[in-house]
Structure 1
Amino acid sequence: MNRPTIIISMLLLICGMGTKAQDLKKFDKGSFIKGKDSIYYRILFPQNFDATKQYPILFFLHGSGERGNDNQKQLTHGAKLFLKEDVRKQFPAIIVFPQCAENSFWANVEFGTDPQGKRSFNFQKRGKPTKAMHALLGMIDNFLDKPFVDQKRVYIAGLSMGAMGTYELLRRKKKLFAAAFAICGGDNVANVQKYKDVPLWIFHGEKDDVVPVVHSTIIADQLKVLGKVPKLTLYPNANHNSWDTAFADPKLLPWLFSNQNQR
């Protein structure tokens, strides 16, 4: 490759990176502050947003690696999916990416170490919400007060730590969500009873060495025990980043937004 070609390639790469960064700026910055609760979020409004109309709203919870207070890192995984032109046209919805603080966690879970030295998870059946979850609950209630939010089409989703938070939100607000999807998460199996009637799609990589796949399969198994037909997708060759494959599933968003809350 000669020098002019190298320079052109570098310029194209730089321009491409700038375009992606610019696209993410379509997510407006916001914050919810009330009493001791405070949480930052990014929000994407539908194209040609009309405040006199009502829209579905999706809250997406990031993983532990995207915690912080920069109000940016939470867009690392998933945000680009909702920026696609065809997605925005087909599914005009409000998309909210809240950010968990560095020193907190979405879900109420205790951590340990298994005999192999890997992190283990002890999901709680009850208990007070974490600081981040408490703020998140307040933020969600605040959004639900907006006249442009369709109360029958409220959705929750997340990956890894965010999937754990998704399950916790489902049990704490079991009548709110029209549907949910959870990628490589987990929950106390005793909690499944509380959200058994919520349409739920579970994803997990079978080679996941961060959050073992069993944390998803036991939830699906418990749904069967409760007389429900679980929607479970396992990726035989995927490790923890199974969200890449899940986001690429063309059936995911049509399924999600087809659900309306009848409860």
Structure 2
Amino acid sequence: MTGNPTSPPLDGPRLAPASGNAARQLIVILHGYGADGADLIDLGRAWQGQLPDAAFIAPDAPEPLPFEALGGRQWFPLEDRSPQEYRIGAEAAQAVLDRFLDRELAALGLDERALALVGFSQGAMMTFQSGLRRKTPPAALLGYSGLLPGTDRLTGIHTGSPVLIVHGEEDDVVPVYHGDAAQAALSGAGVPTTLHRLTGLGHSIDERGMVLGGRFLEKAFART
């Protein structure tokens, strides 16, 4: 079951700070449904020049896909892909992600203001689910091609973290209106949120998105 406290701790590909110094920031990259951490760790490599003192980790999600032949992992099961399923699944998976974040920050001797969460697709759902509810707001939340679970349950969230949403206008897996809905809901809840809709882009991250993300993270950490 997702979020089972007896589940093995999360782990995945890591990048030490390019500067060779002790980490001053931690950027956690959350992959999408059916992938794993190796799928996105190259985002960290693309951003190391801008963020030389950041450690990057892309943990593998806690569950294998139900059909072993497909490979890959999931943060929570997807069957009917309804708003209720997204909300319930993200809420259930939050505990295991939060424990991972707590452990990684403690290991590096960092506090929440040194943390940024980046997610793609289902990983973006988890970025929003956990990042908006941490006791101390992280430095930044970045969601690619995702959606906001539980748009009607945003009361009491922590609103200090700036949010960047990047979404392809040709996305046929998570249509771009989900990005619009997330921006509207978060802005309405007082969360500083920016949306970039990228023309000609489907359900993926392109060079434009990587550049936007790197600049956003660099600016967010410069404020801390």
TM normalised by structure 2 equals: 0.77
Instruction: Give the whole-Å Cα distance in 2 for the aligned partners of 1:191 and 1:261.
Output: 31
Q: What SS does the aligned partner of 1:98 have?
A: coil
**1:262 Cα shift?**
8.1
Q: Is 2:192 aligned against 1:232?
A: no
Larger proportion of strand: 1
RMSD: 3.0
Residue in structure 1 matched with residue 69 of structure 2 by the alignment: none
**2:140·2:161 contact (CA, 8 Å) conserved in 1?**
yes
**1:158·1:165 contact (CA, 8 Å) conserved in 2?**
yes
Residue in structure 2 matched with residue 162 of structure 1 by the alignment: 123
**1:125·1:190 contact (CA, 8 Å) conserved in 2?**
no
Residue in structure 2 matched with residue 45 of structure 1 by the alignment: 16
Q: Is 2:50 aligned against 1:63?
A: no
What residue identity is the alignment partner of 1:171? L
**1:152·1:262 contact (CA, 8 Å) conserved in 2?**
no
**1:192·1:219 contact (CA, 8 Å) conserved in 2?**
no
Name the % identity. 23
Equivalent in 48, 53, 63 of residue 88 of structure 1: 48
Distance change >3 Å, CA 245–CA 95, structure 1 → 2: same
Instruction: Give the whole-Å Cα distance in 1 for the aligned partners of 2:143 and 2:196.
Output: 10
**1:111·1:121 contact (CA, 8 Å) conserved in 2?**
no
Equivalent in 193, 210, 214 of residue 253 of structure 1: 214
Equivalent in 148, 156, 162 of residue 199 of structure 1: 162
**1:48 Cα shift?**
4.8
Flag structure 2 segments of 5+ consecutive residues without an equivalent. 66-72
Q: What do the CA deviations read for 1:129-160 (whole angstroms, capped 9, x no partner)?
A: 23xx4332211111121244354221001101
Instruction: Give the whole-Å Cα distance in 2 for the aligned partners of 1:214 and 1:80.
Output: 27
Q: What SS does the aligned partner of 1:181 have?
A: strand
**1:57 Cα shift?**
0.3
* Correspondences of 1:91-130 after superposition (within 5 Å): 91-92=51-52, 93-100=54-61, 101-103=63-65, 105-106=74-75, 111-112=79-80, 119-122=81-84, 123-124=86-87, 128-130=91-93
Residue in structure 1 matched with residue 174 of structure 2 by the alignment: 211
**1:160·1:183 contact (CA, 8 Å) conserved in 2?**
yes
**1:154·1:178 contact (CA, 8 Å) conserved in 2?**
yes
Q: What SS does the aligned partner of 1:39 have?
A: coil
Q: What SS does the aligned partner of 1:91 have?
A: coil
Distance change >3 Å, CA 239–CA 147, structure 1 → 2: closer
**2:163·2:192 contact (CA, 8 Å) conserved in 1?**
no
What is the number of equivalent residue pairs in this alignment? 208
TM normalised by structure 1 equals: 0.67
